[in-house]
């Protein structure tokens, strides 16, 4: 009696080997088809395109100004929008500090604007006041002096303050002041940043208060210590206080 062999015949093995390349080719072609479909949906389909652009965070500028600067034609494939370039175009608006641009699938772009915030007012020789942010950028002009912003005493105009180190230090000092002191500051100045200043020297900021008292605050460092010492000293009848070096304060 002949034994029954458990192995496959040479013909069947050859057939299996023949099917494997075709099976691999099928999956490759199917994958390419899927990729082509996705690419068409993202770049060629009229379904996934920019149909609307939303703008948020504006107060000084209008949404229409932002949309004009963004310059995104309706119908542009959403995937092809360069969000970094859009943000850069919107940031060219003077009152805009930073911009975030996000795709909101399937058909919308969301632009979120962070506007510049003025920290001081600068008196103009021609009248009115430039309202300037910490970087020295003029946020806007105001005829009357705005309430809540101290007057920055400087020989420069608002347009000449961009990148001014004295203004940067002043802004940092104002941001750290306690509320009880901040609301009484009417004018502020910064010394030690001119041509004669030693490189690396911090500006010495002086605060002028409503009750005609003057505080030499110094730099933006050790704000909490200066706050504690000044809170005690300012109850005195003195008109001038130097807290620029905590621990060695002067009142006279």
Q: Which residues contact 103 (CB under 8 A, 6 or more apart)?
A: 78, 79, 81, 83, 109, 110
Q: Is the pLDDT of residue 210 over 50?
A: yes
Of 60, 55, 111, 117, nearest to 85 by C-alpha is: 111
At the top level of CATH, the class of 120-251 is alpha beta
Distance between CA 47 and CA 35 in Å, rounded? 17
Query: What's the confidence (pLDDT) of residue 197?
Result: 42
129-181, pLDDT tens digit by residue?
999 999 999 999 999 999 889 999 999 888 899 999 999 999 999 999 999 99
- Which 8-state DSSP code applies to residue 41? I
Q: Is the pLDDT of residue 60 over 50?
A: yes
Which pLDDT band holds residue 30 (cuts at 50, 70, 90)?
low
Do residues 70 and 89 make contact, with C-beta atoms less than 8 angstroms apart? yes
Element (H, E) at 208: strand 204-209
Pick the residue with more confidence: 30 or 67?
67
> Phi and psi at residue 137, in whole multiples of 5°?
-90, 130
Pick the residue with more confidence: 236 or 217?
217
Query: What's the confidence (pLDDT) of residue 193?
Result: 55
Query: What's the confidence (pLDDT) of residue 195?
Result: 42
86-121, pLDDT tens digit by residue?
999 999 999 999 999 999 999 999 999 999 999 999
The ranges assigned to domains in the chain are 52-115, 120-251
What average pLDDT does this structure show over 26-37?
Answer: 51
Q: Is the pLDDT of residue 10 over 80?
A: no
Query: What's the confidence (pLDDT) of residue 12?
Result: 54
CATH superfamily entry for domain 52-115: membrane protein fhac (3.10.20.310)
Q: Which residues contact 98 (CB under 8 A, 6 or more apart)?
A: 87, 91, 113, 114
| Fold: same for 52-115 and 120-251 | no
């Amino acid at each position: 009696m002949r034994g029954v062999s458990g192995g496959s015949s040479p013909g069947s093995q050859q057939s299996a080997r023949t099917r494997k390349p075709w099976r691999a080719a099928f999956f490759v072609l199917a994958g390419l088809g899927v990729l082509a479909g996705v690419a068409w949906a993202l770049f060629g389909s009229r379904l996934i395109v920019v149909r609307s652009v939303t703008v948020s965070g504006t107060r000084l500028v209008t949404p229409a100004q932002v949309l004009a600067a963004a310059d995104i034609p309706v119908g542009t494939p959403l995937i092809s929008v360069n969000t970094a370039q859009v943000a850069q175009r919107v940031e060219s608006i003077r009152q805009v500090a930073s911009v975030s641009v996000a795709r909101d699938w399937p058909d919308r772009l969301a632009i979120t604007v962070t506007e510049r915030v003025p920290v001081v007012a600068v008196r103009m020789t021609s009248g009115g006041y430039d309202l300037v942010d910490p970087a020295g950028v003029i946020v806007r002009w105001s005829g009357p002096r705005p309430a809540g912003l101290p007057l920055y005493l400087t020989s420069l105009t608002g347009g000449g303050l961009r990148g001014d180190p004295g203004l940067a230090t002043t802004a940092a000092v104002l941001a750290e002041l306690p509320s009880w002191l901040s609301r009484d500051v009417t004018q502020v100045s910064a010394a030690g940043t001119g041509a004669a200043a030693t490189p690396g020297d911090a500006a010495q900021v002086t605060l002028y208060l409503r009750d005609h008292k003057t505080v030499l605050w110094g730099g933006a460092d050790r704000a909490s210590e200066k706050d504690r010492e000044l809170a005690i000293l300012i109850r005195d009848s003195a008109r001038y206080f130097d807290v620029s070096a905590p621990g060695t304060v002067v009142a006279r």
